Amino acid sequence: MAVDRRKFLKVAGISALFGLGGKTAIDIFAPGQLEASMKNEVPLVTKEKKWAMVIDMRKCLEQQDKEKCKSCMLACHREHNVPEFGNIKEEIKWIWQETYEHVFPGQHNEFIDEGVNHKPFLALCNHCENPPCCRVCPTKSTWKREDGIVMMDPHRCIGCRFCMAACPFGSRSFNWSDPRKAPKDLNPDFPTNVNYPTRTKGVVEKCNFCAERLAKGQVPACVEACEKIKVHALDFGDLNDPDSEVRELLHKRYSIRRKAQLGTEPKVYYLI
């Protein structure tokens, strides 16, 4: 069958993406799915998927012991033009570190393993299956997609901050002022990603599991950053696929989720 030049370039480009993304990209997207999704009627890279993240804290903490690693956080914030304000009042964070006893407040005990006590754990939006933030939004500017990602529509958000009150995990940040007016000394090359918008003052933002990267067949920026430094602590995949890496990990090792008793069904799992 004759292949014209455009089709060749398309396939070559996508294969290059697969090559750069490494094993994980192929794991997530079956061959032909990405191309087919460009047909647009149904976004096939996300059809019938249930995206989740598994954080192997053992590997992460190992890396933390070697150096105060912030690769995933820097990658995320750079990719999405998240400004740095330098104070907890105005801070905006999509993925960050908090100590074990604060990420899992109900789990702490006096005699706990020194390997986790006071150690930095990652916190981000859990993209719950039953998200209270989406229930309370009066304009549906935040909603759960079919593929499980809790999306933010900054065009529609009125900034009422009800979602921030409703989130049991403190995952959401608000733009108290224009992010472009963040202190220049803390944000020297803002915006760090000219292909992604900033937000305006008065809207809520949070981790979006890099939905725009997923649409192009790439893994989230934090996962890619962790892979680049060969730590592989962050795994991202489809819970609906029994052969996916995330399912394998969850099957092999004990995992916990934050505040699981609240019934929000978070999809960020921690392997201790």
Site for other proteins in 40-69 (CB under 8 A): 40, 43, 46
Q: Is 158 in the site for other proteins (CB under 8 A)?
A: yes
Nearer to other proteins, 17 or 160 (CB): 160
As a whole number of angstroms, the longest Cα–Cα distance in the chain is 69
Q: Among residue numbers 218 through 257, which ones bind other proteins (CB under 8 A)? A: none
Among 70, 129, 154, 257, binds other proteins (CB under 8 A): 154
Q: Is 94 in the site for other proteins (CB under 8 A)?
A: no
CA distance linking residue 46 with residue 147, whole number of Å: 6
Q: Is 177 in the site for other proteins (CB under 8 A)?
A: yes
Q: Is 155 in the site for other proteins (CB under 8 A)?
A: yes
Among 202, 241, 247, 249, binds other proteins (CB under 8 A): 202
Q: Is 263 in the site for other proteins (CB under 8 A)?
A: yes
Q: Is 137 in the site for other proteins (CB under 8 A)?
A: yes
Are the C-beta atoms of residues 190 and 108 closer than 8 Å to each other? no
* Beta-bridge partners for 234: 55
Q: Is 91 in the site for other proteins (CB under 8 A)?
A: yes
Q: Tell the smallest beta-carbon distance from residue 145 to other proteins (Å).
A: 7
Among 12, 16, 186, 262, binds other proteins (CB under 8 A): 262
From 35-43, 57-65, 111-119, 217-225, give the range in contact with other proteins by CB under 8 A: 35-43
Cβ neighbours for 35, distance < 8 A, ≥ 6 positions apart: 10, 11, 14
Among 119, 199, 206, 267, binds other proteins (CB under 8 A): 199
CA distance linking residue 177 with residue 92, whole number of Å: 11
